[in-house]
Amino acid sequence: MLRKLLIGTALATTFAFSAHAEDVKEVQMLHWWTSGGEAAALNVLKGDLAKEGYAWKDVPVAGGGGDAAMTALKAMVAAGNYPTASQMLGYTVLDYAAAGVMGDLTETAKKEGWDKSVPAALQKFSVYDGKWVAAPVNVHSVNWLWINKAVMDKIGGAEPKTFDDFVALLDKAKAAGVIPLALGGQNWQEATMFDSVVLSTGGPEFYKKAFNDLDDASLKSDTMKKSFDNLAKLVTYVDPNFSGRDWNLATAMVIKGDALVQVMGDWAKGEFHAANKTPGTDFLCYRFPGTDGSVIYNSDMFGMFNVPDDRKAAQVALATATLSKSFQSAFNVVKGSVPARTDVPDTDFDACGKKGIADLKAANDGGTLFGSLAQGYGAPPAVANAYKDVVSKFVHGQIKTSDEAVTELVKAIDDAK
Amino acid sequence: MSAVATPARQASGGMSTKTLNRIVIYGLLALFALFYLMPLFVMLVTSFKTMDEIQNGNMLALPKAPTFDPWIKAWSEVCSGLTCVGMKGYFWNSIKMVVPAVLISTLLGALNGYVLTKWRFRGHTLVFAMMLFACFIPFQSVLLPMATILGSFGRFGVTLQNATGFNFGLGNSTVNLVFVHVVYGIGFTTLFFRNYYEAFPNELIKAAQVDGASFFQIFRRIMLPNSLPIIVVTVIYQFTNIWNDFLFASAYAGSGDVMPMTVALNNVVNTSTGVVEYNVNMAAAMIAALPTLIVYVVAGRYFVRGLMAGAVKG
Amino acid sequence: MSVATSQIKLTPERSRPSVRSRLQDALPKIVLAPSFAITIVFVYGFILWTIYLSFTNSKTFPSYVITGPRAYQRLWGWTFDSDPPSSWYTSIVNMGIFGFLYIAICLALGLFLAILLDQKIRGEGVLRPIYLYPMALSFIVTGVAWKWFLDPGLGLEQTLHQWGWTSFHFDWIKNKDFVIYTVVIAGVWQASGFIMAMFLAGLRGIDGEIMKAAQIDGATTFQLYRRIVIPLLRPIFLSAFIVLAHLAIKSYDLVVALTSGGPGGSAWLPSNFMYEYTFKRNEMAVGSASAVIMLMTIVAIIVPYLYSELREKPR
């Protein structure tokens, strides 16, 4: 039985689909972008490929922010039926690359000059062992505030520059009878907000040490404790029904003016965009107070699998189209993110998008571009999820004090490492 | 049994007590009916409301201006990923998978039950116990090894095709799903049929044997014609479970051309961004649930009768 | 579903030692063999595979190098992490609460409804499918409605506030200590009708003569049910218990669709734990170990039952 399984897995890579001879003019794409805006964005890519004569075989599996899709991917890989490409995040790409199931796009990368145009921080995940294994689609940035302008004017608030400013602003909203902070009480949302809190409380150096290098001393430090205290402070401004709320419902609260502000990645802008809201007049985008100049990022990537030779041409076409400047611009305008290459003109982007592009460039040059731990770009999934557990338990009261939170964080991360 | 309770009350109380009893009984039954109907009611009324009414109105209120648009949209326009053909595009995929899986697992269950009761051999209880225990395995834990084996079936299919020009459907996603559902369904179907045939008179079979009827002749001419109640129970049970399966379907048949209804519904309902169109979601959910609902309502009476006839026999 | 045994064993009448008749003799076994073989490979083989993996350091993908019982040691450690509760601790405590309440309430409610429905009710044909239909729907379908209904800002609480009962408060789904009970409510809603159908079938199968005799002896309706009917339904209690136990252990989408795991993961059940660790956290060894523990628990519950039911009873 076991032997059979072992042999099955080994054979999967060597002898899958060796029967076909002529090129397959089709890309098979696993993804979880099923909502209107995302699907529209992806349709741009489908159209680009159709022009080159490639059909698009869609494998959409929505749910759990890609969890269901990743399970399906694992099953496909176990069966030896690799898709041409799959939407993937951060360390997952590296895991699959280490397992030897990813393809090699180095030639295409050289021809297209990806090495120069894609930020080094992204290449950490799209290049494995010197080989390009994934095509980054976008760069999302996590440390943003999204504010309803009408509410902001009503309470007479101004852009908060420090954490204390931010608290003062939230107090103003509270006094005016508006829900100050819109939050969805799911662990990834809470942890995403905490990413920003830690960057704000400890500064760029501290964030990198604690959440990218997993340095024990930093995780244990008083700064981390202070960060948890600050998080606890923010949670007091949340409405009582926040637990379990989806992130886009929290964004809708800000759009409708029920709440003042949401701390969320720039995918929230896609929601404002879909509701026909304009930055500057309807809503405001500020960096999380005290994090200006730094960018906490995550990125959607199309992992490219080691498909048989007859499907490689289609894969190269897909990768090339993905990183073409026109697609990068068109896609990211809709999605709310910024292009994964730094040489794409920002003409089509709105004010927030332009700021995002400029910030990314500055952070990339200045060495303050950090992977988001909550989004799986700071550490492998085991650690990231252990982190999310602790933050969420702290927010919901299973962990009662910041002292305890720090102890638990260190323990959980050590355990998962 | 049911005939007896009433005289009991007549004996113990007067007319008014009896009426009171009836009121209490009907009241309780109606109350519970409300509890069971509530989610269905919410889904139904929501599916006929406009988004405006949903956002500003009461969840339990009837639609002020009923609209069929959400249903039309769910039936023929909603998108699962990049394909926007509505739910109707996935009906056939589900049917193609569910019907063979139900038929095969039911037939195998009937044969197994027949052997395990009427053609016993040493260790038959152990064999049955082992097959029964299979019902309890958590499906999440078989996802990956099953995928590996299905993958090797697929590769074998390719080899076979090269050799013979025909691959017998090996590696086809729908065939894979049928296989998986048969594998994890025979535990239940065997259980149902075994318990039913247990009560089936052995004398009939003995007589047929004396007349020279063979193993299969007895099965076809005597067992099957007398199995209608349990066949109904098994088919309903299997149909519901297989139609509603999401885990295997999403892992083994996620691509648009073979995707069953549940995966499409999940893609419609579980989108992560954009305004959540509750009315369309509810309409889509109702459409996906319609076949199983119809089966339960139409065949519901036979279901209890079938259970009575043996599936839960002591 | 309980299992009776019959005492008559059939043997083929004429047994001549020809190849043809030997084949005839073996035919039943040949017919059964494919199903049995499939079970051996795809159930027991996979169980062995899972046990094997739990002793490796498998992460994202299966690894076949045995590295020892570290996964079990971690689970064992987590079993006693109650303050703050580890995810595993939460899962097993929830399993206890959920399993007990779900099974107990479904049995009680199922029996109660079956008895009510057995009182010569007009409109039984309408009521029965109403109680039964939740079993027909997947939780991907009904989870949305339930989530909505239980949400204090959207559902029951808000509706009652709109109707004027402003002091009404029901926010269990948002509360880490109570969220598991909302899972119980939705679970009971789904399965109790099915259990009702089983009991109803049982009630209809009871011999009227026994009842008549009891009535002649002057038993009240209540006594009748307590002393005679319910004891007669014992096999159905056992069958229903098995059905419910297997549904309880497999409850996964219930928790996900309804609570997405609950505040701070407070609604997790062991199956959620297993899925999370195997597929999401890429700690396949831990996921496998938790699956093995789940299976062992099932064995501990089911095997004694199967043994007592399937044992050849001397008559």
**pLDDT above 90 covers what percent of chain A?**
77
pLDDT at B273: 58
Assess B141–A contact: CB distance below 8 Å, yes or no: no
For residue A27, name the pLDDT band (cuts at 50, 70, 90). Answer: very high
Domain assignments of chain B as residue spans, ordered by start: 1-67, 76-311
pLDDT at B14: 55
What separation in angstroms does the CA of C165 have from each of B214, C168, C170, C182?
A: 72, 6, 12, 21
For residue A15, name the pLDDT band (cuts at 50, 70, 90). Answer: very low
Question: Looking at per-residue confidence, does A206 or B80 come out higher?
Answer: A206
For residue B159, name the pLDDT band (cuts at 50, 70, 90). Answer: confident
Neighbours of chain C (3+ CB pairs under 8 A): A, B
Average pLDDT, chain A: 90
pLDDT at B274: 62
List per-residue pLDDT tens for chain C, 315 residues long. 444 444 444 444 444 567 877 887 889 999 999 999 999 999 999 999 999 999 999 888 888 999 999 999 999 999 998 888 999 999 999 999 999 999 999 999 999 999 999 888 888 888 988 998 998 888 877 887 888 888 887 788 888 888 888 888 888 888 889 999 999 999 999 999 999 998 998 888 887 787 788 778 877 878 888 888 888 888 788 888 888 988 898 888 889 888 888 898 899 999 999 999 998 888 999 999 999 999 998 888 888 877 877 775 543
For residue A371, name the pLDDT band (cuts at 50, 70, 90). Answer: very high
Tally of domains within chain A:
2
B97 min Cα distance to partner chain A (Å): 18
CB contact under 8 A, B38 and C2: no
Q: Tell me, yes or no, whether A172 and A219 share the same domain.
A: yes
Closest CA to B285 of B271, B264, B259, B257: B264
Q: Is A58 within 8 Å of B81 (Cβ atoms)?
A: yes
Tokens of C302: 């089911």
Give the number of other Cβ atoms within 10 Å of residue A147's Cβ: 22
Closest chain C CA to residue A412: C86
Tokens of C223: 């006594």
Closest CA to B172 of B147, B154, B159: B154
Q: Tell me, yes or no, whether A387 and A401 share the same domain.
A: yes
Q: Tell me, yes or no, whether A123 and A185 share the same domain.
A: no
User: Residue B138: left if φ>0, alpha if ψ -120 to 50, beta else—which one?
Assistant: beta
For residue B7, name the pLDDT band (cuts at 50, 70, 90). Answer: very low
Question: Looking at per-residue confidence, does C16 or A405 come out higher?
Answer: A405
- Is the pLDDT at B63 greater than 70? The verdict is yes
Question: Looking at per-residue confidence, does C108 or B132 come out higher?
Answer: C108
> Using a CB-CB distance cutoff of 8 angstroms, which residues of chain A are in contact with residue B162?
19
Mean pLDDT lowest among A216-220, A356-360, B212-216, B297-301: B297-301
Expressed as residue numbers, the domain containing A248 is 143-297+373-416
Closest chain C CA to residue A93: C60
> Using a CB-CB distance cutoff of 8 angstroms, which residues of chain C are in contact with residue A99?
60-61
Neighbours of chain B (3+ CB pairs under 8 A): A, C
Residue A19 covered by a domain: no
> Using a CB-CB distance cutoff of 8 angstroms, which residues of chain B are in contact with residue A252?
275
Closest CA to B88 of B241, C143, B176, B80: B80
Tokens of A241: 């029904």
Q: Is B176 within 8 Å of B93 (Cβ atoms)?
A: no
Task: Report d(CA A132, CA A109) in Å as an integer.
Answer: 7
**pLDDT above 70 covers what percent of chain A?**
94
CB contact under 8 A, C136 and B289: yes
How many Cα atoms occupy the beta-carbon half-sphere of C54 within 13 Å?
A: 24
CB contact under 8 A, B154 and A80: yes
What separation in angstroms does the CA of B251 have from each of A79, B256, B259, B260, C21?
A: 10, 13, 10, 11, 46
For residue A367, name the pLDDT band (cuts at 50, 70, 90). Answer: very high
Residue A307 covered by a domain: yes
pLDDT at B310: 59
Last residue of a domain, one of A321, A347, A364: A364
B176 min Cα distance to partner chain A (Å): 11
For B84-124, how does the pLDDT look when each residue is reduced to its tens digit (9 = 90+)?
Answer: 888 888 988 999 999 999 999 999 999 999 999 988 888 88
pLDDT at A12: 43
Assess C155–A contact: CB distance below 8 Å, yes or no: no
pLDDT at B272: 55
For residue B278, name the pLDDT band (cuts at 50, 70, 90). Answer: confident
Q: Tell me, yes or no, whether A291 and A316 share the same domain.
A: no
pLDDT at B146: 93
For A91-136, how does the pLDDT look when each residue is reduced to its tens digit (9 = 90+)?
Answer: 999 999 999 999 999 999 999 999 999 999 999 999 999 999 999 9
DSSP string, A40-92: HHHHHHHHHHHHTT-EEEEEE--SGGGHHHHHHHHHHHHHT---SEEEEETHH
CB contact under 8 A, B289 and C138: yes
> Using a CB-CB distance cutoff of 8 angstroms, which residues of chain B are in contact with residue C39?
130-131, 134, 183, 186-187
**pLDDT above 70 covers what percent of chain B?**
92
Assess B249–C contact: CB distance below 8 Å, yes or no: no
pLDDT at C313: 52
CB contact under 8 A, B59 and C235: no
Residue A167 covered by a domain: yes
Closest residue to B127, CB basis, from C9, C36, C275: C36
> Using a CB-CB distance cutoff of 8 angstroms, which residues of chain B are in contact with residue C106?
none
Assess B34–C contact: CB distance below 8 Å, yes or no: no
- Is the pLDDT at A4 greater than 60? The verdict is no
Mean pLDDT lowest among A24-28, A133-137, A159-163: A24-28
For B190-203, how does the pLDDT look when each residue is reduced to its tens digit (9 = 90+)?
Answer: 988 988 888 888 88
Assess B83–A contact: CB distance below 8 Å, yes or no: yes
CB contact under 8 A, C27 and B215: yes
DSSP string, chain B: -HHHHHHHHHHHS-HHHHHHHHHHHHHHHHHHHHHHHHHHHHHHHHHTS-HHHHHHS-TTSPPSS--SHHHHHHHHT--BTTB---THHHHHHHHHHHHHHHHHHHHHHHHHHHHHHHS--TTHHHHHHHHHHGGGS-GGGGHHHHHHHHHHHHHHHHHHHHHHS--TTTT-HHHHHHHHHHHTTHHHHHHHHHHHHHTS-HHHHHHHHHTT--HHHHIIIIIGGG-HHHHHHHHHHHHHHHHH--HHHHHH--STTT--HHHHHHHHHT--SS---HHHHHHHHHHHHHHHHHHHHHHHHHHHHHIIIIIT--
Q: Tell me, yes or no, whether A116 and A233 share the same domain.
A: no
Assess A243–C contact: CB distance below 8 Å, yes or no: yes
For A253-302, how does the pLDDT look when each residue is reduced to its tens digit (9 = 90+)?
Answer: 999 999 999 999 998 998 888 888 999 999 999 999 999 999 999 999 99
Report B:180-209 residues touching C (Cβ under 8 A). Answer: 182-184, 186-187, 190-192, 194-195, 198-199, 202, 205-206, 209
Q: Tell me, yes or no, whether A114 and A190 share the same domain.
A: no
Task: Report d(CA B73, CA B279) in Å as an integer.
Answer: 10
Could you tell me the pTM of the whole model? Answer: 0.89
Residue A15 covered by a domain: no
pLDDT at A251: 92
Mean pLDDT of A23-37: 85
- Residue A31: its H or E element: strand A26-31
> Which domains does chain C carry?
19-310 (1.10.3720.10)
Task: Report d(CA B271, CA A402) in Å as an integer.
Answer: 35
CATH of the domain spanning B76-311: 1.10.3720.10
Closest CA to A417 of A213, A228, A220, A218: A213
Closest chain A CA to residue B82: A39
Q: Tell me, yes or no, whether A127 and A236 share the same domain.
A: no
CB contact under 8 A, C4 and B125: no
CB contact under 8 A, B82 and A15: no
CATH number, residue A56: 3.40.190.10
Task: Report d(CA A197, CA A226) in Å as an integer.
Answer: 10
- Give the angle A403-A406-A412 at the CA atoms, nearest 5°: 140
Task: Report d(CA A80, CA A314) in Å as an integer.
Answer: 18
pLDDT at C75: 92
When scoring A5, A59, A74, A254 by the number of chain B Cβ atoms within 10 A, the one with the most, hence best to mutate, is: A59
DSSP state of C58: -
